[in-house]
Structure 1
Amino acid sequence: MSPEPGLSRTHVDLDDPPHERFVPLRRDLGITTFGMNLMTFDPGQQGRIHRHAMQEEVYVVLDGVLDLVVEQETHELRRGDVVRVAPQLRRKLVNRGPDRVVLLALGGSAEHRGRDGEAFPDWDASTPAPPQEIPLPDDLPADERR
């Protein structure tokens, strides 16, 4: 498969993740509008207490169990959990368990522009339309149609 301009790809072996605690993925992928990092915490490891002026963060737990401490309140996160932390809240990640934790951390501060997408009825179409004007795929379950 030849890469398309504007399409980038990297690979992380989640069965044997890198032993670096903090692996930046933004540059590898050419991301310019938000941060993306793979983070690993061995048993007993913890991050520093921090907050941001403008950047909100989202953590996606890929493997393991860890504590997210927000303003001294502890929240246990497990594999599959996704959590957002507002910029002004102090937070800290702690692995109190016996197993390694792997998570994806995303952060951004630019204002979200909802409904800026364009839709196409098929791959042959060259002119986009607002998403609301293009029918949803037939196989999309009814409860997911918005």
Structure 2
Amino acid sequence: MEKTAVADLDDSIQAAAVMRHLTEPLGLTDFAMNYYELEPGDSFAFAYHNHAVQEEVFYVISGIATFETEDGPVEVAPGEVIRFDRTEFQRGWNRGDERVVALALGAPLEYGKQVKLRHCPNCGEKTDNDLDRADDEAAVIACCKECGTETGRWYRGSMEGEVP
């Protein structure tokens, strides 16, 4: 048995105000689990993306999350759950005025190859992006795989250059 308090865990640099990894503290070996708090305009992910091998489930505890999907936007209210199959593109946002609190569950634990689509101002369209840490480890940076242009930069609790 493993037990942890979410508030005691370190916050991760993400596109969300708060993101805490629960996988390792709970000793999970077969699936991933993350806790999120999204301020208005925040997102669960750095890009519209998919996972080659992992299914994802989001359980919304409070607020309303809006997921960008291939079929259009889908709102998920408190007490509701949404599942994305392997290879299904999605990105969840807080488009409302209230903070969104949610859990994300993924199985298997590994993501596999991900395609991360973000708008590249140089290419003029959504392109696949690489995500890397800045040299000082203080930020996560997204860069277009086609031309190398930076398409986003996030610091703990804030983001720059994000186009929802």
TM-score over 0.5 for the pair: yes
- What is the aligned partner in structure 1 of residue 32 from structure 2? 35
Any residues of structure 2 matched to 1:1-146 within 5 Å, and which? 7-12=1-6, 20-46=17-43, 47=45, 48-71=47-70, 73-109=72-108
Match of 1:137 in 2: none
Q: For residues 74 and 41 of structure 1, what CA distance do their matches in structure 2 show?
A: 17
CA positional deviation for 1:20: 4.9
More strand as a share of residues: 2
In structure 1, runs of 5+ residues without a counterpart are 1-6, 111-146
3-state SS of paired residue (1:37): strand
Moved over 6 A (4+): none
Larger Rg: 1
Residue 12 of structure 1 and its aligned partner are, at CA, apart by 3.0
Distance 1:72 1:45, change over 3 A: farther
Judged with a 3 Å threshold, the aligned counterparts in structure 2 of structure 1 residues 20 and 10 are, in CA distance, closer, same or farther, namely: farther
CA contact (8 A) 2:17 2:42 kept: no
SS in 2 for 1:73: coil
User: What TM-score comes out, normalization by structure 2 length?
Assistant: 0.57
Which runs of 5 or more structure 2 residues have no equivalent in the other structure? 110-164
How many equivalent residue pairs?
A: 100
Give me the identity figure in percent. 35
How much is the aligned-residue C-alpha RMSD, in angstroms? 1.8
CA deviation profile, 1:78-129 (whole Å, cap 9, x unmatched): 110011100111001111111110110000137xxxxxxxxxxxxxxxxxxx
The one-letter amino acid of 1:32's match is T
Question: In 1, distance between residues paired with 2:104 and 2:21?
Answer: 9
**In structure 2, C-alpha distance between the alignment counterparts of 1:20 and 1:73, rounded to whole Å:** 25
Structure with the larger helix share: 1
* d(CA) in 2 for partners of 1:51, 1:21: 22
Shift of residue 66, structure 1, vs aligned partner:
1.4
